[in-house]
Amino acid sequence: MAVIGASDRNNVGGRVVKGALDLGYQGRLYPVNPRYETAQGLKCYPSLAALPEVPDCVVMSVPASAAMPILPEVEASGIPAMVFLSEGFTDAGTAEGLERNDILLAMAARSGMTISGPNSAGMVGLKGGYNAAFVNFPRDLKAGPISIVSQSGGLNNAVLELGRNRGFGFNYILSAGNEIIVNSADYIDWLADDPDTGVIINILEGVKDGPAYRAALERAARIKPVVVLKLGRSEAGQRATLAHTGSLAGEDRVFRAICHQSGAIVVDSLDQALETANVLLRAPLPTGERVLVFSTSGGASVLSGDLGSAAGIAFPLIGEATNAGLQEILEVGGRSPIRWTSPAVHASARATT
């Protein structure tokens, strides 16, 4: 991996190289910056042409104004993939930003280069020690089965902090940014086949290719749980989405219906996303409507029945033998029997011990 803009400072390029070293990156790492002889303790090269080999990936970690003049060199290098961290493209909402976007698209079309970003926080693989991002990792962050695909790099940081506080472990943390070439659907489709990913969290502002996104959700959800947090649900949020990534947020009710039909689970907050992902990691997905509410509080089971019914969950009546067995275990027979407060919807188990 080559990092354009690498340095010893705590700027974007410096953090990319330091993050890779801190994670124990096992590949060959080439800092590129004509202003330095070394960066983060590694030899620094003046250009891509000066590298001893063609890297698998180059990380563009300089501002857009400096990145654009380097693109011909990047194209000529034959590097197959680029993580583009710079902002100032469709996200800028200016004529200059749109022109930059067109230039980058044309270069990708000519060269066949795969591009992640721009306007991206980068990509991280904790288990494999891969870092092409400028994320400041929370201390004691653990590797684990949760992978994140997010168009917002800042929210990735928040998810990692909240997850670390809960003791959750993460695998891939992927910031999609403006999705000029590779989009959320591509990441979800790829993670569906990743054996080290147990659940996918997708934080989404807008969809670039609706049919592809739906197809990716449907395929992934048949293999493992997919939890989706859709941003831009309000009018104000949709305006912010357009300003942030240049994406149209779309109608929330339609999006939720598509996710429901595709088998993905929609949540409304970062906390819900993490807790839902954790539950789905620990419990298998239900295969039918065999759900029983069991509680020592009649009121709690009534409330669970109400909330569950509103969410489309059916609570079938349990059999007499099971009912009698529960009474015997709880030692409530003859004193406080299990009562069915609304048999078609929920069961209430009262126990006096």
226 burial level (CB within 10 Å; 0-12, 13-18, 19+)? buried
Are the C-beta atoms of 345 and 291 separated by less than 8 Å?
A: no
Question: How many residues can be counted in the chain?
Answer: 353
Are the C-beta atoms of 120 and 84 separated by less than 8 Å?
A: yes
State the pLDDT at residue 237. 44
Torsion of CA 267, 140, 82, 181, to 10 degrees: 0
State the pLDDT at residue 351. 36
Q: What is the mean pLDDT of residues 119-127?
A: 93
Q: What is the mean pLDDT of residues 246-265?
A: 78
Of 152, 159, 155, which Cα lies nearest the Cα of 249?
152
**Strand-pair partners of 229:** 203, 267
State the pLDDT at residue 234. 53
Q: Where are the domains of the chain?
A: 2-116, 138-282, 298-348
CB atoms within 10 A of CB 197: 22
Fold match, 2-116 / 138-282 = yes
Region 138-282: CATH code: 3.40.50.261
Residue 196 has pLDDT above 90, yes or no: yes
Please report, as a single letter, which amino acid is at residue 333: G
CB atoms within 10 A of CB 22: 13
- Average pLDDT, whole number, for the chain? 86
Residue 348 has pLDDT above 60, yes or no: no
The stretches of 172-250 forming alpha helices (DSSP H) are 184-192, 210-221, 235-245
Q: Please write the tens of the pLDDT for every residue from 70-105.
A: 999 999 999 999 999 999 998 888 999 999 999 999
Element (H, E) at 60: strand 57-60
Are the C-beta atoms of 121 and 91 separated by less than 8 Å?
A: no
State the pLDDT at residue 63. 95
Q: Model pTM?
A: 0.80
- Classify domain 2-116 at the CATH topology level: Rossmann fold (3.40.50)
Distance from C-alpha of 80 to C-alpha of 86, rounded to nearest angstrom: 18
CB atoms within 10 A of CB 66: 13
Q: Please write the tens of the pLDDT for every residue from 7-55.
A: 999 999 999 999 999 999 999 999 999 999 999 999 999 999 999 999 9
Q: What is the DSSP letter of 148?
A: E
Distance from C-alpha of 220 to C-alpha of 33, rounded to nearest angstrom: 40
Among the ranges given (77-81, 184-188, 209-213, 339-343), the one the predictor scored with the smallest mean pLDDT: 339-343
Distance from C-alpha of 243 to C-alpha of 224, rounded to nearest angstrom: 33
